[in-house]
Amino acid sequence: MSVDLTIEVREKYIFVKAIGVFELEQAKQEVFKVIEVCHQNQIARVLNDVREVRGSLDLMDRYEYVLFLVGGIKQHFSHLLDDIRLAYVGPRPVDDVYTPQVVQQSGVHIMSTDNMGDATAWIEKDNL
């Protein structure tokens, strides 16, 4: 089994809901779908709901996946670098401190939490 994505365009961000078993290579392929929706709508904010994802979500898989996503978004949205935001909502250990610190060093704003309300408020906020 693999992960099924639902992608919705919202007013200020793209909402991605993932359900299923995480497989790194498939997840990296799904990034292109998310980036295409971002590009079509000129929105550089993505809220990822991964609360129903199971499987190997170890630190290195998360790190590699997030860097892959950041690289694709930065490539298509260099004119919106100050507004690129990624929020991940999921159970611990998805909520870690290492991955956000590394990604923020690339100039992308990222939040990882287990609280959808906090993530939504952060992604919709006009200024960080």
Answer whether residue 1 shows pLDDT above 60: no
Beta-carbon contacts of residue 51 (< 8 Å; ≥ 6 apart)? 89, 90, 91, 114
Question: How many domains does the chain contain in total?
Answer: 1
Convert the pLDDT of each residue in 107-123 to its tens digit. Answer: 778 888 899 999 999 99
The predicted model gives 75-81 an average pLDDT of 65
The boundaries of the domain holding residue 63 are: 4-124
Distance between CA atoms of residues 46 and 38, nearest Å: 8
